[in-house]
Amino acid sequence: MALHIVEEADRCLNCRRPLCQEGCPVHTPIPKVIQAFKARDIANAGQMLFDNNPMSVVCSLVCNHSNQCEGHCVRGKKGAPIHFSAIEEYVSESMLDKMGEGPRPKPNGRRLAVVGSGPAGLTVAIELARLGCSVTVFEQKQQIGGVLRYGIPEFRLPNSVLDRYQSLLARLGVHVRPSTTIGGALKLDDLLRDGYDCVFVGTGAWRARTLGIKGQARGNVFFGIDYLINPGACSIGRSVAVIGVGNVAMDVARTAIRQGARHVTMYSNWGGTSANSDEVELAQLDGADIVYGKSIEEINDAGPVFRTSILDEDGQVVGLSDEREQVACDSVIICVSQVPKDKLVLTTPGLRASERGTLVVDENCMTTVPGVFAAGDVVNGPKTVVHSVEGAKEAVRGMLRYMGLPDELPVADPEE
């Protein structure tokens, strides 16, 4: 056991009101986990983590801890917060391969289809399988993981972790159909017709948002979400301009550097960044530069053309300069957010989307088609893994109520 993790656990004050737990979107029972860890009861600590969040090992690696659990730690007010992420990673990584062992739960006679195997889809599949439902996951790509495998770089989240989740699904009796697009040969109506009591949609947000400028179709231009699916397939050269300063832009910049780019510059059209501070710091540590106050006008064969933004005292854009500035580079990668694809909406009568392209759901996470539920990025737009887990757990409760089953999940009570 790594000594520094033990030392971190020993620093925990076991607060009567754990602000760290309140700061976690899924209310991980942090003090209880730390107490079990200190007692060397790793199995119990791991079970608490897994019961509360099936994606615990993933969240320990990719969550925005500085704004969530660790950012709310009382210790952080006068010094360094408890680095719970390191404790969570140690415990959940140690216990992942033991989860789902033993006899499977008694079947309850309900059949569920899960469309998409990102964090929301995996959470729903695991939770429902543990409650005795027969679950089939339909994944468009060859391997499970969704954005976890195809949108987060492997240096942040190793694919081996997702391979272990594939094994967990097998232990739970979950069927997986890879390379199967719902909205193509099979449609949502087909799933309901074939006897699934509920369908969950967790297809994420995979359509890149465009800039509406000239030059986006040129050969030296890529969209960030597409680039991250298979960076090695893209010839980006040694000098790269990244348009955008969100979390995807940080991942793109760090990936480009690892792919061999020697000069990577991110451009913000305002006076700040939208990525979390940890990711910004890591990108700069890797060697990426950030230039603020540059609004892109067009892209030509030489690279992007900017106008300088006129900023107010809060760093917001209030105007643009008249001069245009040509920046020379080998490739341009656009990272200005994503929206869900519309294949399911176009092929499913009655399925309604918002103006942003996200699926419309009610308080039970059910869409405008009875029996079809949704959560994660396809409902909220691009957010974090833990927010997808949060939404997926609410969807599971809604699905259980819809099927007439108790809506109780094995989640620790944050008030206990």
Phi-psi bin for 9: left (phi > 0), alpha (psi -120 to 50), beta?
alpha
pLDDT of amino acid 233: 96
What phi and psi values does residue 146 have, to the nearest 5 degrees? Answer: 55, -130
Separation CA 349–CA 332 (nearest Å): 39
- E strand residue ranges, 51-92: none
* Residue 74 DSSP one-character state: G
pLDDT of amino acid 416: 41
CATH 3.50.50.60 fits 210-336, yes or no: yes
Amino acid at 367: T
> Which CATH fold topology does 3-98 show?
Fumarate Reductase Iron-sulfur Protein; Chain B, domain 2 (1.10.1060)
Same topology between domain 3-98 and domain 210-336: no
Separation CA 109–CA 205 (nearest Å): 32
Query: Do residues 8 and 82 touch, judged by C-beta distance below 8 A?
Result: yes
pLDDT of amino acid 359: 98
pLDDT of amino acid 241: 98
- The encoded tokens of residue 119 equal 């964090």
pLDDT of amino acid 408: 79
- What are the percentages of helix, strand and coil residues in the chain, rounded to 5? 40, 20, 45
pLDDT of amino acid 3: 61
160-174 residues labelled b (16+ CB within 10 A) or e (exposed): ebbeebbebbeebeb
DSSP string across 216-243: TTSTTEEEHHHHHH-GGGS---SEEEEE
pLDDT of amino acid 407: 83
pLDDT of amino acid 412: 46
CA of residue 341 relative to chain centroid, distance? 16
pLDDT of amino acid 410: 59
What phi and psi values does residue 96 have, to the nearest 5 degrees? Answer: -55, -45
Q: What is the mean pLDDT of the chain?
A: 95
Q: Where are the domains of the chain?
A: 3-98, 111-206+339-402, 210-336
Query: Do residues 159 and 195 touch, judged by C-beta distance below 8 A?
Result: no
pLDDT of amino acid 409: 75
pLDDT of amino acid 4: 86
Query: Do residues 102 and 151 touch, judged by C-beta distance below 8 A?
Result: no
> How many CB atoms sit inside 10 A of residue 158's CB?
12
Which parts of the chain register pLDDT below 50?
A: 412-416
102-141 residues labelled b (16+ CB within 10 A) or e (exposed): eeeeeeeebbbbbbbbbbbbbbbbbbbbbbebbbbbbbbb
What phi and psi values does residue 291 have, to the nearest 5 degrees? Answer: -115, 125
* Strand 111-115 to 198-201 pairing: parallel
pLDDT of amino acid 37: 96
Which class in CATH covers the domain with range 111-206+339-402?
Answer: alpha beta
